[in-house]
Chain A
């Protein structure tokens, strides 16, 4: 990080963002991160002074959806600009250089900012055969270890990097694992989602720039402020759930009236994410608002958590055959028991000895 580089505030000003707009962003960030309003000046001061942090972005077994999510905003927002203005020293989808030049850029960034750069990872790491996924001939595992060694912190972006995601779905052919399974000696933060919400990333970056630390994390390594509440708790369709009004199909009366999507398989009740509050596309909408239930993409192993279109309370596997067989087995066992009881009764009757008065007299 060279010192003649402009600060983030300077860059934003050059982009035509007013002071007022900048403070508004700081206030939004503070409220997003559940910080008290009194923190706004501190955030503003820290961001004004902060120079572009060096960020190395590694992409492993992924679909580029996370990068798409983070870079595609149709009207550039301040969050988008913050993201653009970070010194993204290596990102093989976005950078112009490729091959050895790209790798040289990564190595240079690692050297120059040793101990200070942020490492962002999307995609899972194959542990099966190193050849399953390589970059410039280097296996994902080696590259992750090497790059994480000098990082201040690691952010695992997307469900693949956070939990293994689709590549790790059963039967996990590549032996895919998340970042946290490999990096144990650095703070690792998970920002799951398939893909995750862009503003979560920028919010976390702003937090890192302000406090030089990652925000508070939950048991799954996710920033609590964004993943603290379930979709269901924040869902605007919740009153319909409570009233017992449900869409039964995607095109019935209930669907048109915007009723709850529980019966269509919504996983909102067990999914912790900020979609229902921050929404997508600059707050335009989120899946449930566009009529589709939540699929729970930010939960660990969501691909293997049952059919997407079955209500949460429905059994995952067909049980009828098994229950039918068990009932038949029960009937047979019961009949056998009944027969045994009857036989016991019969033999008891047969063995019954009659005692007459004479017998008793004799016995005297």
Chain B
């Protein structure tokens, strides 16, 4: 199999399978989660705090006072990675073309120099948070296989994309094929690992905020 054949498989059957598994998994998990239901809370709400869930979505997305100083790698690394990843994912023109191919939607892209900066920042941040996860005893204790798997599955698309774009180490066609395949791995794993937070993060933040609001914990 040549690199181009691998790329063609990745763009064809590979992509179909990955997207199908991802769509299947996301719907399955959403129905499962929402179908769980919650016990009726018979107690009277402590405080009347309408909008507590919505406020939590915002407040939990910002670092609590003092925490950036205490855990700079976690917070700054986390922000830089998520931003870098999102910019690379949504504003690199070939990616937009993929979305256009799938859905017909498109939007303007960014120059590749900016994408490059975002990707490098994302990669460095990922390395930094992994280093801190490994060196900090508490974090290491709390980390399981899934955490490292999620890290790897996120790191690979960025890394292979970077190699492909800059023609580093491996032949471009092969790098591109590996890049697409790594994204497909990510798609397949997304619904069934902690990576599902891409879909569920704001739902769970809203729920937490709302339930704590009822229990009298201000958000």
Contact = CB atoms under 8 A, between A and B. Distances in A.
Interface string A289-322: 0000000100111101110001111111101101
20 contacts: A232-B172, A242-B112, A270-B4, A270-B173, A299-B4, A302-B4, A304-B8, A311-B94, A311-B97, A313-B101, A315-B11, A316-B12, A319-B15, A322-B16, A322-B20, A323-B19, A324-B23, A330-B26, A338-B31, A342-B35
A244 interface: yes
Contacts of A341: 32, 35-36
Contacts of A333: 24, 28, 31
Interface in A314-364: 314-317, 319-320, 322-331, 333-335, 337-339, 341-342, 345
B35 A334 contact: yes
A90 interface: no
Interface residues of B, number: 45
A341 B29 CA distance: 13
A325 B23 CA distance: 9
A226 interface: no
B7 interface: yes
A140 B119 CA distance: 53
Contact of B101 (A311, A326, A329): A311
A241 B93 CA distance: 9
Interface residues of A, number: 50
Q: Interface SS of chain B: helix, strand, loop or mixed?
A: helix
A84 interface: no
Contacts of B28: 330-331, 333-334, 337
Nearest to A334: B31
Given A306-B11, A327-B24, A263 B32 contact: no
B95 A313 contact: yes
Binding site secondary structure of chain A: helix
Interface of B: 2, 4-5, 7-8, 11-13, 15-16, 19-21, 23-32, 34-37, 93-95, 97-98, 100-102, 108-113, 167, 172-173, 176
A38 interface: no
Contact of B27 (A304, A322, A327): A327
A244 B111 contact: yes
B4 A305 contact: yes
B36 A338 contact: yes
A246 B93 contact: yes
Considering residues A233, A302, A338, which has the most beta carbons from chain B within 10 angstroms of its beta carbon? A338
B172 A306 contact: no
A262 interface: yes
Contacts of A304: 8
Contacts of A335: 31, 35
A342 B113 CA distance: 52
B25 A270 contact: no
Contacts of A324: 23
A326 B96 CA distance: 23
A301 B12 contact: no
A15 interface: no
